[in-house]
Amino acid sequence: MIGGALGAFMGDVHRRAMALTGRFALTAACLSGHPETARAAGTALRLDPDRIYDDWATMARTEAARPDGIRLAIIVTPNYLHLPVAAIFLDAGIPVFCEKPLTNTLPEAEDFAARFAMSGDRMALAYTYSGYSMVREARTLIRSGRLGPLRSIQAEYLQDWLGASDAPGGWRLDPAKGGPGGCLADIGTHAFHLAEFVTGLRCNALSARVSRLVPGREVPDDAQMQLRFPGGETGGLWVSQVATGCGNGLRLRIFGEKASLEWAQERPEDLILSFPDGHSERIVRGATGVTAPSLLPRGHPEGYLEAFARLYTDLADRIEGRPAPLLPTLADGLRGQHFVAAALTSGAADGAWISLTP
């Protein structure tokens, strides 16, 4: 693991999720850019002192040369370090699991993707919500034709933790470290990826209103946009980190000719199908007929950590040579950067429609 010292939210989440799978163990780490912090954190996690590193370049070189070296590098650093760290480990022949967004800017992402085009399947992105069982069930239902031809896709991701002017946003509010995307990069990429992952549609244009609702803020904290799809389907996406009263309100609604479907991250165990005659059907994880794999039996709630663990299970399968077709890859990370860049461009042009690459 690179980054993720004790007390860092994402570092703790990754360690817990990998433990749930029973297929990973943390054996080496450079947990901070500050050597004393890195060593103290590694010691607290009971790592071999010889495998607690002060810098990631030494870690990559040393681990690649060991007969028992690491088989996966997990990157949980601030955004601006994602690609420099990933490049070092990929060059050393070590697969990478990286937090999103891929990086701070689209040109950086494109240059990296071109350089590692032949290694794309050795890099995965932590689009966590694609790991939820019922998100994967929704994807299956749509492909089975249960909703009929799709008409509209509505996604929203609402939080309120940055609502105060003195909110402790840290590097996420620093454009040099977190990038210019603000909420678009931090959580908007999740909502955009989820919409495309579940529906199988690719947005080809968007029109965005991008806002800094807290005075003095250098990066966006709210964005609302319209989406266009090649088949004439419409879409909407609202992402905010200043939506008072909202904790982690990721929600996806998909409207088809025969039925509509709704999934919400704060109620992740079921899908709601609604039909033109007014009746609704609740599909519960683990119920008869539900095909998406689960980690726990029905009635034992699965949540955020289990969704992460599903991605780690996919990673273990891929490392061991088995297919993992739903695992988000470098291509998904690049797609997220195209989304952020298009939304920022549109917002700066008063909502002009901006095309996305296919």
The answer to whether the Cα torsion of 69, 75, 77, 78 is positive or negative is positive
pLDDT band at residue 97 using 50, 70 and 90 as cut-offs: very high
135 pLDDT exceeds 90?
A: yes
C-alpha span between 315 and 321 (Å, rounded): 10
Residue 126: alpha-carbon gap to chain centroid: 4
C-alpha span between 69 and 196 (Å, rounded): 36
CATH class of 132-296+332-355: alpha beta
358 pLDDT exceeds 80?
A: no
Q: Report if pTM > 0.75.
A: yes
Q: For the chain, give every domain's residue range.
A: 2-128, 132-296+332-355
C-alpha span between 318 and 316 (Å, rounded): 5
Phi, psi of 262 (to 5 degrees): -135, 135
> According to the model, what pLDDT value does residue 169 have?
94
Closest CA to 241 of 162, 180, 185, 178: 162
> According to the model, what pLDDT value does residue 12 have?
96
The tokens for 52 are 């607690």
Question: Cβ–Cβ contacts within 10 Å for residue 115, how many?
Answer: 13
C-alpha span between 90 and 107 (Å, rounded): 19
Which residues does 82 contact at the CB level (< 8 Å), separation at least 6?
75, 98, 99, 101, 102, 103
pLDDT band at residue 120 using 50, 70 and 90 as cut-offs: confident
For residue 144, give the 3-state DSSP assignment: coil
pLDDT band at residue 121 using 50, 70 and 90 as cut-offs: confident
CATH number listed for the domain at residues 2-128: 3.40.50.720
pLDDT band at residue 60 using 50, 70 and 90 as cut-offs: very high
What confidence tens digit (pLDDT) does each residue in 306-324 have? 999 999 999 999 999 999 9
